[in-house]
């Protein structure tokens, strides 16, 4: 009978232990959830301070913070350059007025008609491809434009359909 008691005791201990683990896990989940929320608040604090820094309110900011802000700023600028590199590789540029993505050799934004800076291409293999989709011809310069173009990509003339 002693053995049976021991087994029973062992089983009860095991289930106690399991219960305990569940309890502990519940707390752990709460802790990590709270930590996530804290991190999110930290991020907001950082963004607010960064805005103050960009507005030039640097007098009240501690030295270390200014350093961090400068680091963020230079990384942001680096990312802009890298994104430009990607667009160059993809033979694309963005219209500064409406944000439309167009090919590098496009002179006028087909969406808003804004005159675009023509970026010299290093690899113009892609740009030699003729557009395969349905195109509309510009009445003024006869350039083939994408079907949904509102303005001619070559001369900026508005396209009537
Ligand atoms: Zn545009
Ligand atoms: Zn045209």
Question: Whole domain around residue 22: which residue ranges?
Answer: 15-87
Q: Count the domains in the chain.
A: 2
Q: Report helix angle 2-54 to 63-89, nearest 10.
A: 90
Would you say residue 128 has pLDDT above 60? Answer: no
Q: Does the pLDDT value for residue 6 go beyond 70? A: yes
The reported pLDDT for the residue numbered 122 is 56
Cα(130) to ligand 2 centroid in Å equals: 16
Cα 89 to ligand 2 centroid, rounded to whole Å: 26
> Where among 64, 87, 110 does a domain terminate?
87
Tell me: do 65 and 37 sit in the same domain.
yes
123 Cα: distance to centroid of ligand 2 (angstroms):
25
Strand-pair category, 92-94 with 101-103: antiparallel
Q: Which ligand is nearest to the CA of 99?
A: 1
DSSP conformational letter for 97: T
Question: Which pLDDT belongs to residue 127?
Answer: 46
- Residue 158 and residue 123 share a domain: yes
Ligand 1 center–CA 119 separation, angstroms: 16
User: Looking at the predicted structure, is the pLDDT value of residue 130 above 80?
Assistant: no
pTM exceeds 0.85 for this model: no
First to last CA, the chain: 96
Q: Do 100 and 138 belong to one domain?
A: yes
Q: From the CA of 72, how far away is ligand 2's center (Å)?
A: 43
| Confidence tier at 94 by pLDDT (50, 70, 90) | confident
């Amino acid at each position: 009978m002693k053995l049976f008691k021991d087994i029973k005791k062992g089983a009860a201990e095991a289930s106690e232990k399991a219960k305990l683990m569940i309890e502990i896990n519940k707390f752990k989940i709460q802790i990590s959830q709270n930590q996530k929320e804290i991190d999110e608040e930290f991020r907001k604090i950082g963004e607010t301070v960064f805005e103050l820094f960009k507005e030039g309110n640097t007098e009240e900011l501690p030295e270390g913070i200014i350093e961090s802000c400068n680091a963020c700023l230079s990384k942001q600028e680096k990312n802009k350059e890298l994104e430009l590199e990607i667009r160059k590789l993809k033979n694309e540029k963005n219209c500064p007025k409406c944000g439309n993505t167009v090919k590098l050799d496009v002179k006028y934004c087909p969406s808003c008609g804004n005159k675009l800076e023509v970026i010299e291409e290093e690899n113009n293999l892609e740009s030699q491809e003729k557009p395969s989709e349905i195109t509309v011809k510009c009445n003024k310069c006869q350039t083939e434009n994408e079907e949904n173009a509102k303005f001619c990509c070559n001369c900026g003339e508005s396209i009537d359909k």
